[in-house]
Amino acid sequence: MGEGERDMGRASSIQIWQYITAIILIFVLSFHLIERVPGLSPLGVKSYEDSVKIEPVKKAYSSYGWILATLLIVALFHGLNGLRGMLLELRQGRGWRIFVEVLIWGLFIIFGAWGLRTVLLMT
């Protein structure tokens, strides 16, 4: 199997992850948005303004922090993977591909750690 065929198989498996994260995002983001809707919110808020006050937000983080952490990681992966695809279409070459991979994984680690730190501090 040549390098082009190997890259094609790798690209299609990464695209499958893009679809999987899109499906997960639909559910997790829906829950996150429903938290803010009066009458539907599991937090029992009376208005949107109540849903963004500190106490309901702290309650959401302590009750549903794992959902927010999932939203963070999945959205970050989905977005950065899309950016990765665009950058790889911009130029070709092994050096560029390595640069893009290192850049994307570096951004994922930095933003993921910062976001998880925020979620963990609120729980």
**pLDDT at res. 113:** 96
Phi-psi region of 117 (alpha: psi -120 to 50; beta: other; left: phi over 0): alpha
Consecutive 10-residue runs of the chain (123 residues): their mean pLDDT?
Answer: 57 85 94 84 80 80 85 96 93 94 97 92 75
Distance between CA 32 and CA 70 in Å, rounded?
11
**pLDDT at res. 27:** 93
Boundaries of every domain in the chain: 3-122
Just give the CATH number of 3-122.
1.20.1300
Phi-psi region of 93 (alpha: psi -120 to 50; beta: other; left: phi over 0): left
* Residue 38: count of CB within 10 angstroms of its CB: 14
- pTM more than 0.85: no
